[in-house]
Amino acid sequence: MNKQWFIVYCKSREENRASLHLQNQEITSFFPKIKKEKVMRGKKTIVEDPLFPSYLFINIDQMDGNFSRIRSTRGINDFIRFGGQIATVPDKLIEQLKSLCHVLNDLDVDTQSLFKNGDEIEITKGAFKGATAIFACEDGLERSMLLLKVLNQEKSISFPNKDIKRA
């Protein structure tokens, strides 16, 4: 078999449906998604967003693949073409995209939201490196308010989430 990766253009927000229907037809597909932090209805949540909205990668044999059957799959508009020829994607690029998605999804998961009011926090960077503070609350998506004892007084100071960790 001589399988190759192709790109299909999907209907708006129908990538998951198309991927499911391709899976039912026993066609390998890849829909790269990354996890992102978003504020929805006033709460910070983690959602999966498409890396390439409306595009899906499929792996089929160019000789045996039934291109019209794939084009008529629910959620798919058509194959991406350049100069009338269906575009192919190198296997190496797909592998790089898969590893990139894996790395980004592991790093983007928000562990900072695990902090609770009153948790002891250690500051890992900046002028207060090594100091311990008390977690007060989140200050937006990328910062947190900490109570830091300075000159025998507790001061509420905002720190980047990437510069703090649980003590």
Residue 108: the pLDDT is: 41
Phi, psi of 44 (to 5 degrees): -80, 125
For residue 155, give its domain range.
112-166
pLDDT at 145: 84
Q: What is the mean pLDDT of residues 49-54?
A: 92
Pick from 93, 108, 123: which residue ends a domain?
108
Tell me the pLDDT of the chain averaged across its residues: 85
- In whole angstroms, what is the distance from residue 37 CA to residue 156 CA? 25
| pTM for this model (two decimals) | 0.62
The number of distinct structural domains making up the chain is: 2
Specify the pLDDT at position 166. 81
Shared domain for 101 and 139, answered yes or no, is: no
Task: Give the pLDDT band (50/70/90) at residue 57.
Answer: very high
**Helices marked H in the chain — which ranges?**
15-24, 67-71, 91-108
* CATH number for the domain that contains residue 47: 3.30.70.940
pLDDT on residue 151: 74
What's 137's domain CATH number? Answer: 2.30.30.30
pLDDT in tens, 104-160: 776 443 444 567 788 888 888 888 898 899 888 877 667 788 888 877 788 888 888
